[in-house]
């Protein structure tokens, strides 16, 4: 699959999230440098505070050097519920790219994940043609 296919899958995973009035529904997929899926996750998967990227990264084992993280929403750069943001977790994982469909609106926090990633040497890639798909499970918040 290409970036669009993997990101479409991440957007579809967001529909699995239990609805929330205080957090976005997000899906994430981690793909290795070899093009194979390593892990996937979605917001509130195991805990009401889980973010999608965090859930997927928790399932990934081994070195993620060269991996790409696909997320329906820009990985968070600020966070109130846990000490580390998703952008920080992605940087620490060794992933080299983060591909997302929708820039985080400033509904809960200011979206700064792309800037955090870029400053740390992880390439942020936005595919806005899938933003409508990423917004669908969040319509109740908008």
pTM score of the predicted model: 0.94
Buried b (16+ CB within 10 A) or exposed e, 19-41: eeeebbbbbbbbbbeeeeebbbb
12 is a catalytic site residue = no
Cα torsion 52, 116, 4, 141: sign = positive
Confidence check: pLDDT of 81 > 90:
no
Q: What is the pLDDT at residue 106? A: 67
Mean pLDDT value across residues 115-141: 95
**Residue indicated by tokens 């908008």:** 142
Is the pLDDT at 63 greater than 90? The verdict is no
SS3 124: strand
Residue 4, burial from CB neighbour count under 10 angstroms (0-12, 13-18, 19+): middle
Q: What pLDDT is attached to residue 136?
A: 94
Write out pLDDT tens, residues 15-49: 999 888 988 999 999 999 999 999 999 999 989 99
Asked if 92 and 58 count as a contact pair (C-beta separation under 8 A), the reply is no
The three-state secondary structure class of 57 is helix
Output the CA torsion sign for 114, 115, 120, 122: positive
Instruction: Select which of 45, 53, 54, 74 is catalytic.
Output: 53
Q: What is the predicted pLDDT for the residue at 62?
A: 75
């Amino acid at each position: 699959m290409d970036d669009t296919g993997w990101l479409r899958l991440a957007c579809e995973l967001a529909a699995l999230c239990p609805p929330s009035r205080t957090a976005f529904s997000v899906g994430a997929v981690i793909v290795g440098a070899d093009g194979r899926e390593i892990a996937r996750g979605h917001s509130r998967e195991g805990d009401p505070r889980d973010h999608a990227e965090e859930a997927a990264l928790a399932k990934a084992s081994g070195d993620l050097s060269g991996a790409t993280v696909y997320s329906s929403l820009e990985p968070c750069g600020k966070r109130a519920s846990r000490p580390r943001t998703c952008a920080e977790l992605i940087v620490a994982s060794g992933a080299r790219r983060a591909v997302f469909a929708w820039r985080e609106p400033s509904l809960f926090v200011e979206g700064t994940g792309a800037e955090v990633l870029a400053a740390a040497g992880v390439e942020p890639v936005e595919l806005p043609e899938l933003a409508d798909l990423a917004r669908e499970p969040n319509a109740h918040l908008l």
